[in-house]
Chains A and B, each alone.
Chain A
Amino acid sequence: MSNNQFIEFFDGGQEPTLDSLGGKGSSLVTMTAAGMPVPPGFVVNTQAFRTFMHSGLSDEIAEQLKGLDPEDIAAADAASAAIRDIILSRPVPEELANATEAAYAQLQSRFESEVPLAVRSSATAEDLPDASFAGQQDTYLWLNGYRQVAEHIRACFASLYTTRAIIYRIKNDIPDEGLCMAVVVQKMVNAKTAGVAMTLDPTNGDRSKITVDASWGVGEMVVSGTVTPDNIQLDKVTLAVIHEHIGDKHAEMVPDEATNTLVEREVEEARRTVRCLSDNELAAVAQLAKRAEKHYKAPQDIEWAIDADLPEDKNLLLLQARPETVHSAKAPEAKPTGTGYSSSLGFGSIAASLTKISG
């Protein structure tokens, strides 16, 4: 996918920077580059934001904010509304509008028919105290068509000017000149099958295993424990299945095209009694978990989904990766018990191991 001065695709192959893509955007690019396939998409970068704002908007906005009394909530509300109206209504510079529309078209060209997208703000400074209420974590789901997407990119920009954000900046003497934002545009996951995977055995912390829970539809029901998923344990090195338990999987949550929301429905009998992952899919999930563990250098607990809109070898998506905390905090490996294991030519240990009842 081709990047340009305003757009960076997750798989565009460019080194991400926080300044240009914000936290969320650069993390998605980094993960894609590391072989962790997040739902495909692109980032509208901070250069795009600045180009838009500098096309005359910033003067108009400054006008609205001039002499505003931070204690006068009604005046601040009015200014906020006016500014948001400015951001949502002014023409976008042609170059930027063309770049965004082209990126939208390129993304959609990966699917057989147009798919719904999500638009999320990606802040460049998420650790600032105002980030949490400055609209920098806006997420808009199930957007259909370029027009909706473009509108919501602006909505992300506009969210920098909520009443609370305006008042906060005036009180803390933070100038508007430094305000910046990138926006992530990403495919909505249309999960055929989804679940979680841990890069260890959660029952004993054995790091030579991968444990997968999987069920039909999106992963929410697995995470919340409202279905009994298929539970599979694999050897981490060879990916051989060590044991598996087919869960009942009585219900699934799937996107409803009419309402653009998720709906819960019953799973028919035939799909309940079979494993919801093929051998290849299972191996791919395990590989994905391994890559996440390697990338983050610690045992991981990942959420994944198999997307119905993507081609077979590219349909496994990583939705979230976080460090596993329960066992990782403990000693990394249970030491073998018994004697003689420390001597390198331990014939003593051979006798011990041979006479032990095992395996």
Chain B
Amino acid sequence: MTMKSFPKPSDLPVPAGAEGWEEIYPYYLVFQDALKEQEDAKFWFCDSSHWPTVFKPFETIGGEFAVKCLGQYNARHLMIPNANGIDFRVHLGYLYMSPIPVPEDQIAARVPEFEARIGAYFSDWENKLAAWHNKVKGTIADMEQLRFDPLPEIVPFEDIENGVGKDGSQILLENYDRLIQLTYQNWQYHFEFLNLGYIAYRDFFNFCKEVFPNIPDQSIATMVQGVDMELFKPDDELKQLALLAVELKLSDLFSNTDDPQSTLAAIAAAPGGERWIAQWEAAHDPWFNFTIGNGFYGHDKYWNEYPEIPLGFIADYIRRVEEGAQILRPTQKLIAEKQRIVEEYADLLDAETAEVFEAKRSLAATAYPYVENHNFYIEHWTMGVFWRKVRELSRMMADAGVFEDPEDLLYLGRNELRDVIFDLVTSFGIGSGEPIAAVALPAKIAKRRQIVTALKTARPAPALNTPPESITEPFTRMLWGITTEQVQSWLGNDEDAQENVLKGMAASPGAVEGVARVIMHADELSQIQPGEILVAPITAPSWGPIFGKIKATVTDIGGMMSHAAIVCREYDLPAVTGTGSASTTIKTGERLRVDGGKGTVEILVDEPVLSGPGAHSHHHG
């Protein structure tokens, strides 16, 4: 078989209007002419699961911090024997990754370090994890303290009296730097336990595959997955609020949640409304630090800033409660089923092997829930505060005449922005009050807006260059679902490929038929009708409330442990993840058959099939 290849970066056409796009990102994020030979020799896959849409320059911060910090734990903290970090580039606005292997001859030497380092964590898991919570929450509390107030007209007399000797601009500069530092800090913490969670899972996974050849990945996931997860807390809060609204007979007040102020005012004024409002307020901290996006984009909307979002979800839950639906997750059933599965597998083993099985399973079950729960603390809570602070800054700067529109900030890289802040500080200090940015930036930002808009017209390539014979890097397989078979299927080398059938990961069991609803962006979520099949490039766990009304989920990217997979198993819904192209192949309204046990999505052709005597098949032009 001749190995097909993905395009080289330089083969991909630059969308019209996006010429010069490289200039909007830092030099180290784009492919270099001087490194072309080396870079073209590597296989890069697009991480469109975390970064489904084009980066605005400021937004690369999330990608840079996340992938850098992931890498450091492999390469510098834990000394994973066979995996260093992941190299990454932005190309035509999308993020591409290339895992860095450890040379064969260095693997053995890393093993003792690796064992000592993971041992230090696994043998002291509870304490270290408790400390992690303190560290992360401390960082967030520090971020909340940061203020981006307008610079004063003149230095307050108080400061003169006290001999402060500074004009206040240092606070702006310090707070900006501090915001970036604190965000970086929590991204380092993000991976402190994540790689360990995956390691313990991977170890149990490999053991299961050895003692139970071909055991479905789903079974392994179920045996270590948490049932009551912090990640589901925000959604659970909404369900409780819906149940309370029904109990207090407030349901009718949720008829126009697009107007949250009036809705909340009407509730507060109604009998029993005070109790509901108290519970609503209590849920905010921390659980409404939750985005319908994924935390990586400036346009992500957070529940605590857009109350119409949680109110809309609550209204939907109320409607379902009144239709007699059971909206709470079947937690007891899920726990009992998990227990049954663990016991039945253990019973298949002899006593000695069963003991190892249980030791490995319990390690994975201890370490793995972090993989699910951390997401709330970093992607939602930390990043929610981060973007809120960035918006405070951008509004202040727009008011100070630096930007025409607060959103202009996103078209500057974070280090470019620092220069602009100094420009503002200078114009303030020298008394001109007219930052150079006011004249120097508009054309630049307009150009960048045009480039980003143009880049968005093209979808990313799933991968670049020639793939290796087989994908063996454990994290790539696990986090992104990038397997040898998956890559071959993207290349169209799948020998069993059938027309109208997409293949992906069998991420959550069950088979259903239904009508597709393609959702390219979180803002389109309200279009989903009950009983439809959600098709999306990715899903975010914060889409929680819609999982109660859909029949199944299909995504372009993501593995067994992607958020879509986890949430669907939790909600008992079929899911096929990592299909590569479902969101661009399937059209809203098409009938699908989703088999989450086999990992297939069939587009059903509704043409009637004629059969029987005298019938002949024919096609209508």
Contact = CB atoms under 8 A, between A and B. Distances in A.
B465 interface: no
B268 interface: no
A353 B202 contact: yes
Interface stretch (A71-79, A83-91, A119-127, A339-347): A339-347
Contact of A354 (B82, B212, B344, B355): B82
B345 A241 contact: no
Interface string B326-368: 0000000000000011001100111011011001100100000
B509 A354 contact: no
Contacts of B345: 208, 237
A286 to B, nearest CB: 13
Nearest to B509: A240
B122 interface: yes
A272 to B, nearest CB: 14
B356 A204 contact: no
Interface string A58-82: 0000000000000000000000000
Contact of A332 (B114, B213, B350, B363): B350
B214 A347 contact: no
Contacts of A353: 202-203, 206-207
Contact of A342 (B123, B202, B340, B356): B356
Interface stretch (B215-223, B528-536, B546-554): B215-223
Nearest to A268: B611
A243 B207 CA distance: 21
B118 A236 contact: no
Interface string B363-395: 100000000000000000000000000000000
Contacts of A354: 80-82, 199, 202-203, 206, 474
A241 B598 contact: yes
Given A336-B211, A347-B115, A237 B219 contact: yes
B123 A359 contact: no
Contacts of A201: 213
B353 A336 contact: yes
Contacts of B206: 353-354, 356, 358-359
Interface string B73-85: 0000000111000
Chain B CB within 10 Å, residue with most, of A235, A338, A344: A235
A233 B598 CA distance: 12
B4 interface: no
Interface in B184-216: 199-200, 202-203, 205-207, 209-216
Contact of A345 (B122, B209, B215): B122
A333 B118 contact: no
B115 A351 contact: yes
Given A345-B122, A351-B81, A242 B359 contact: no
B119 interface: yes
A332 B202 CA distance: 26
A172 interface: no
A240 B348 contact: no
Contact of A346 (B114, B340, B359, B477): B359
Contacts of A342: 352, 356
Interface in B21-35: none
A240 B219 contact: yes
Interface in A314-345: 332-338, 341-342, 344-345
A206 interface: yes
Contacts of B506: 240
B356 A350 contact: no
B261 interface: no
A348 B360 CA distance: 12
Interface in A228-248: 233, 235-238, 240-243
A208 B353 contact: no
Contacts of B115: 347-348, 350-351
Interface in A204-243: 204, 206-209, 233, 235-238, 240-243
B141 interface: no
B470 interface: yes
Given A204-B213, A207-B348, A351 B111 contact: yes
Contact of A344 (B344, B356, B474): B356
B401 interface: no
Interface residues of A, number: 41
Classify the interface of chain B: helix, strand, loop or mixed: helix
Interface string B6-44: 000000000000000000000000000000000000000
A242 B599 CA distance: 11
A206 B209 CA distance: 11
B134 interface: no
Contact of B213 (A206, A236, A335, A345): A206
A268 to B, nearest CB: 9
Nearest to B222: A238
A344 B361 CA distance: 11
A112 to B, nearest CB: 25
A333 B211 CA distance: 8
Contacts of A346: 356, 359-360
Contact of B216 (A204, A240, A349): A240
Contacts of A332: 350
Nearest to B340: A237
B77 to A, nearest CB: 15
A238 B509 contact: yes
Contacts of A270: 611
Interface string B112-124: 0011001100110
A347 B349 CA distance: 22
Contacts of A207: 348
A357 interface: yes
B472 interface: yes
Nearest to A350: B203
Given A347-B118, A348-B115, A237 B211 contact: no
Contacts of B119: 345, 347
Contacts of B222: 238
B511 interface: yes
A359 B216 contact: no
Contacts of A233: 214
B511 A279 contact: yes
A172 to B, nearest CB: 49
Contacts of B111: 351
Contact of B209 (A243, A341, A355, A358): A358
B210 A336 contact: yes
Contacts of B597: 240-241
B266 interface: no
A240 B511 contact: no
A348 B82 CA distance: 14
Chain B CB within 10 Å, residue with most, of A238, A241, A346, A358: A238
B265 interface: no
A10 B123 CA distance: 57
A235 B215 contact: yes
Contacts of B248: none
Contacts of B509: 238, 240
Nearest to A269: B611
29 contacts: A204-B213, A206-B213, A208-B212, A237-B219, A237-B345, A238-B219, A238-B222, A238-B341, A240-B216, A240-B218, A240-B219, A241-B597, A242-B216, A332-B350, A333-B350, A334-B211, A341-B356, A342-B356, A344-B359, A345-B119, A347-B122, A350-B115, A350-B203, A351-B111, A353-B203, A354-B202, A355-B81, A358-B210, A359-B205
Q: Which 8 A-B pairs have the closest CB atoms?
A: A208-B212, A353-B206, A344-B359, A347-B115, A237-B344, A240-B216, A350-B203, A355-B82
Interface of A: 201, 204, 206-209, 233, 235-238, 240-243, 270, 279, 332-338, 341-342, 344-351, 353-359
Given A240-B218, A240-B506, A345-B122, 9 more contacts: A236-B344, A243-B214, A279-B511, A345-B123, A346-B360, A349-B207, A350-B118, A351-B114, A359-B205
